[in-house]
Structure formats: structure tokens, C-alpha cells
Chains A and B, each alone.
Chain A
Amino acid sequence: MTIDWKQYPLQEGFFDELISSPGNARQPARQLANYLSSLSEDDIASRKLAAESTIRDMGVSFTVYTEEGNIDRAWPFDIIPRIISSNQWDKAAAGLKQRLQALNLFIDDLYHDQKIIKDGIIPEFILKQSKNYRKECEGISPRFGVWAHICGTDLVRDHNGSFFVLEDNLRVPSGVSYMLENRSIMKRVLPEVFEKVNIAPVGDYPEHLFNMLASLSPRQGERPVIAVLTPGIYNSAYFEHAFLAQRMGAELVEGSDLMVDKNDCVYMKTIAGLERVDVIYRRIDDMFLDPEVFDPDSVLGVPGLMRAWSKGNVALANAPGAGVADDKVVYAYVPEIIRYYLGEEPLIANVETFLCFDDKQREYVLANLDKLVVKPANESGGYGMLVGPHSTKKERETFAELIKANPRNYIAQPTLALSTAPTLISRNKVEPRHLDLRPFILQGKDTYVTTGGLTRVAMKKGSLVVNSSQGGGSKDTWIVDTTAGKS
């Protein structure tokens, strides 16, 4: 038995990325669908096996924290890619650039004049109670006025296939290495399809990341010394930290490899002595960056780092304090933020969001907990949220109490009709599974968006939770140009 797209169980009310109606693939996916159904059951099984052994050999893993200790798990991967046409993608990409530019203007404003608050667009208390606002950053002007240099924005598609922004990750977004590795795996698994289809390459991300980081160097005109600052081998994203350092030719450092000297410059400890560092791509949270300023018990950070940064002797990406715009309450204001700073209409819409600090909206949320998704304002990784339709009565009661106790800290959104894509669930059986997309946007001197991004897929039937820490997997993402024929 081969794959029969006529038998593919499309789900009513959801947009499927590859299949438009039983037996019919969308145009950019047509060649792939035909190719897959030409493969025998054994062929498909052997491709799947090839993907698994590639993942093992490439050592693509992520760490899961359990009570029994940390487990390095192989990256769960589905061999059927998710496909988006290039003209659809170009529009989304323009929207992502617009969004990050506005967010950076917003952050810079917050740490200087706070015009947006004075003009009454955003209530002051939101800022006052923001967990990620850093008083220590006030008055500091990073190069180009950019604070969030690397942003991972989660996109979802509704039942019509329109893109919506689900959240912006402006602190230390991860996943880009998996995007790159997924492509290398696919090239080994379905090489024939790459010959026939115009798939936009993704491999130039490290180059763009390097150029962006280099553009931040305080010693322009000299070859910058760039370091990736990792919390170390036990961090769940360590694989990615090492991967990016390697691809950029940057130094992979831990806090203990760095020191700040009396001249407020940052140095790394090398076999020849101390060497100055110009740019630090930090993958540790604000609170651990500098024990002199933030958490005094942090052993991950570097004493004096904030001093060096505020004097402009070292660039930090992302800048400390950038996470203030990561707050899910701020998220609700992003369309206004875009209008305020750029005078433009947002090119990608937000998902409808209810703010629990507002009495009316909170009433609505509390009355509809079984239909809504409730999220804390400052968590990531899918932790601490309530998915209404899948919740128990007890869970809803707990959340009602949490919301009443701290309304500023919660938002709610309608349960999304997350789009689906065919996913291999047994030797020859494909079923729709829900997915999202995390593109990565860079801003330094210029702005750049990855071609596509990391597609995360909820491997469990009906599940809407795509986080790898919670049983999600991933797929390669193809941006396909259907206008130009491949010769």
C-alpha cells in the first residue's frame, strides 16, 4: 500500500498546508505529493530510517529535564515537509520586518523618553509591573537604537490560511539550528524532490547572523572578536549554541571564560593571555548576565558585564532589557505600536487577545475559560498555560483563582484553528497534525528574515501543543517558488 491522498482525513474547519481537498495537493506541494505516492511502503520506511540514523549521526539532540535527571533526546522529526508558496511567504516576511522594527523603536523609547506612555497609547502601569523591564538600562543607547537583534516570532495560520502572530520571543529565542539541520536531513532523505522543485535555501542564516553581530562591534574597522555566551553543556539549547558558534567561526564561551578589566572592557582567557571581546551573542537570561547588577548568586554570568556594555565597550545581543517587549500584555498592543512608530498598518495581524487587567475583558475570560487558552504574561516554552477545551474543571478553577489574584499577569486567546499538514504516523499512513512556524528575524544595521523558519508539529492527534519539551516534533519548511520552472 502506498500513500493515497484520496484517503487523507482532512479535518473540517482547519487549513491544511499541503492538501486542499481529498486527492488534491495545493500547487506548491503537488510534485512532492505525487512523488510520495509513487513510493512503496518499504521505500517510505527506509527513508524514515535514513532520517533517524542521520539525526543520530549528526548528534541533533535536545535536553529534557525530568526528575530522573537530564535526558538527551534525539530530535523528533517528520519526513514530510511543510510547504508555503514564495509569494505568500514574501508578504509574511515583510510583516515580520515591520514588526521587529517597530518593537525596537518601542524598546528604545521605553528606556529613554517613554513617549508612547506620555501619549497615552500604553498605560503606565503595564510598564511599572513588567517583569522584564530593567531600570538599569534606562538612558543607554545601543548601536542603531536596536535592542532586540534576534527575534523568533511564532506564526500560526487560521482556517483560511492567513498568517497570525502568536507571540514574539525577544529574549533568547532558540530553534534556528534545528531549522538548518532539518534541511540537511531532508537533502539526504528526499534528494530527488530537490531536483524537481524550486526550494529556497536556508543555509545562509549563520552568515547573516555573523554580519549582523559584526555590525554591532564597538571597534569598527577591525576584525571583531565575537563570542557566543552559553550557560553550558546542561542547557537544553547547548547543541544550538555550539552549532552557531561553529558555523560563524565565533568563540563559544561560558561566563568563567570572560572577565571585565579595570578599563571596563571584556576579555576572554586564552592560552596566550587576555584577548578583548567586541560582541557577545548571549544565550543566558538577563538575570544571570552580571552578578554585580542582577542575581548576585549567578555563576553563569560575568561580573562587570553591564558596566562594559553601558559604556559601549562591548555589544550584547540581545541587549539586556529587550525582553520588556516579550510580555504577552505588550503583545496585545503591538498593532498600536506599529501604527504609533511607523505610521503604517500592521501587515500581519495579532491573534485576538483578552487582557485580564481590564474588568470587562476579564469577566469575559472567566465566563469562557472552557473555550479559551490562558497564558501567563512572561513564560515561554508552553509552561503554565491552560488550554480550555482540553482542561478539567479543577484546572479551570485553579486558573480562575490565579487570574483574579494577579490579572496583570494573564492574557487569554481563543482556541486557535491551528493549520495542519500531513504527517507520517505509521509505515504508510499519513494523518493531519497541527503545526506552527517560528521564523527568525535579525536586525542590526539591516533587517533579515529567514526563508521560512522552524516548523513545529504536535505529534499527538488533535493536540495543539507543539513545544519540543512537551512532545512536539518538527518538519522541514519549504518556501517554494512555483512561478519559475526548474530546468
Chain B
Amino acid sequence: MIFAGFFAPYDPAEQDRKNPYLPPMRLHLVDHQGHFHARPFAYGVKLREGSFDQYEEDRTETFPLKFLVRGASYRFLGLVPSRLHLFGTETDRIYLLGSDSYGRDQLSRFLYGGRVSVFAGLLGASVTLLLGLCVGLAAGYYGGWRDDLLMRLAELFLALPWLYLLFALRAFLPLAVGPLEAFFLIIVVLGIVGWARPARLVRGVVLSAKERDFVRAARGFGAADGYLLRRHILPETSSVLLTQATMLVPQFILAEMTLSFLGLGVPEPVPSWGNLLSSLQQYSVLVSYWWMYLPALIMLPFFLGYLGLGSELQERAEPYKIGR
């Protein structure tokens, strides 16, 4: 996702009005006369006779696929300006995942969109976790009336209907804020609102951890609260935090998708995964242009892979299994 600019062949906002809803192009190694080409190539496309959205391959034109070509400019890692792309063609545009209603390259939009969506997920999850961790530590470690107060507050926040909260928030935000900034502001606010669940879990872990004998022993060596929290209790919460992170990041990505799907999230023309999916709202798109589903299908293995990574990390962080 960080290298979206490099992997994506085109600027995600660049339109090609001549070719809306173009199906994914096939890459060929053997041309229609049976000759073999070492470099994969695609045929040009033309509208089928008497149709406005059916294309067929135009075998008179070929676009050989070139690697490391110069194309639309972008900033590498957000800093270094560059025009280098992993692949592309020299003459006409090539659509490996088809194009959308404005003739924008779906692959580029998917890659750039992932950048926005995943960043939103990470941002929201880290805000939530950080806040939840602090509140959970305080409630669990100090106990007493502070614990009661914080937990009642947490229950209040758990009861908030987040979708309606979002609508309200979106309505309250001033129009002067840029659309993308407004979106990230919403994600941050969502993150802040979500502190209750991780806080409750962290509190539970802290409650049991502070009664563990090794924490008592360390107190017996004259350790102060700060030391105990940092050296003994914080590491105990790591596995809960990891589980929460594995759950929250996709949850926030989904929240972004939901928002964008409803038109409240990332504004066009900035691509995001939610925006890609929101084009599926139209019946005609659902029925006629099957490649518009492709981003959804690619997201599946992404989420599965992420969950797998999360559970792997969690097992590594669990010390109790070692040597037993």
C-alpha cells in the first residue's frame, strides 16, 4: 500500500471518458496468428457494432507490456517525486482490472484506495487501543471508586449507536474543513468513542495481574507504581492488545467502507475501498459489469491474511506455553 504509486500503472483520478466500464484486458503471449511473444501484450479494444458498452478486442493494435515505465507523477513514500511505474504501456492505457464509469483504472484505484482505507484502519485502531489501554490500566490498577466511575462510563459508551453518532458528527463538521481531513477527523473521533471495549478487557487483565505473586514480590522490593505498571503489568496486557488490534483494524476498514458506501466517508475522486464498492449500489452495474466485484474479492484474502498474521503474533507473545 505504501508503494501504491509505484505498483499502480496510472493516477487513480485520471479519467478516460472514451472507455467507461471496460472489462479487464487479457494479457497474451501468443497472438492470433500463433506467433509467440516473449513480452506479454494486450490487444486494443473497440466498441462492438451497435452497442454502447460491449467491447471486443481489436486485433490490429497491440500494446506490449513494459516494465518500469514512466507515467503519471506521484511521490515515492510520500516524499520523493517520481514518474516510475512497475508496468504500463507506451501508447494506450491498459486495464488489468477493467475501468469504472469514468474510465478510471480499477487496479490503480484499488491500490491507492487501500492506502486510504488501511491507514484509516490503523489510525482508528491505534487511537482506540491507546485510549483503552490508559483507561484500563488506571481503572484496573487503582481500583476503588475510580474503577467504578470509569467502568460505568465505559458502559455508557458501549451503548452508543455508532452509525447514528457518525451521521450526527458528519452533520456537525464545518464545511471549511477539507473533505479528506474531515474523513480522518471522523475516524479519530470513532477511535476515541471506541475506547470502552479494549479498556474493559485491559482492566480485567490488570485486575488479575496486580494480584499475581510476582507483582506483589516486586512491590516487596520497594518498587513504585510506575515501575510495576511498566515492567510487569503492561507486558501482561500485550496479548489482549494484539487480539484487539487484529479485530479493530479490519473493523475500522469496514467502518470506512460503510461510510464511503453510504457516501459519508472519503469523498470522490479520492479512491478508497468503500468508494470502489459503492459503485456496486447501482443495479445496472451489479448485473452488467462483473469486474466491478473484483476489488471485493481481492479484499477477502487481504483480511484473511491479516487475521492470520494477528493470531500468529499473538501466539508468539504468549509466554506461558514456552517449555511447559
Do A and B share a complex?
no
Q: What residues of chain A have their CB less than 8 Å away from a CB belonging to chain B?
A: none
Q: What residues of chain B have their CB less than 8 Å away from a CB belonging to chain A?
A: none
